[in-house]
Structure 1
């Protein structure tokens, strides 16, 4: 579930950048419960996805220089025979009927 946690952090950072209210690197690290180094890593990852990110020292916030959309969708299904559980976005379990294909 490490990957899900990483994606959730990336999404939370993206939302803060989009709203232009991240705070300084140390403040956003504290806010997300991660190290400052991880903040820089996540920002570099967003840049790898071609996000143009700037930092305004006077407002102490990261911001997108151009429009940028980050949409993450995934689904994980687990189970056996006639009962399958679906984990959506890593946040909850929902029973789902399983119908094997003939």
Structure 2
């Protein structure tokens, strides 16, 4: 998987969690076109960056327990790619 694809997935995961519209872990993984275990790898990475992510069984969605902001900046030979 390319770096750009990974960044796009992180951006989508972040957006859906912020909007509390992820659905179940299985549904969300399917939406991202990845396995459930890969999805949890992304969640784990986001947690290492300070995200407090919880899952509500009642609402069937992931949500942030804190005010987490994901901003990604990548430089390739002075070409800036920004994802936020």
**Common fold by TM > 0.5:** yes
Structure whose residues are more often strand by fraction? 1
| Number of equivalent positions | 82
CA distance in 1 between counterparts of 2:81 and 2:48 reads 26
Question: Structure 1 residues 75, 31: closer, same or farther in 2, change over 3 A?
Answer: same
Q: Counterpart in 1 of 2:54?
A: 54
Structure index of larger Rg: 1
Structure whose residues are more often helix by fraction? 2
Query: Unpaired segments of 5 or more residues in structure 1?
Result: 79-85, 90-102
RMSD: 1.9
TM-score, length-scaled by structure 2: 0.85
TM-score, length-scaled by structure 1: 0.71
Q: 1:68-87, aligned counterparts within 5 Å? A: 68-77=68-77
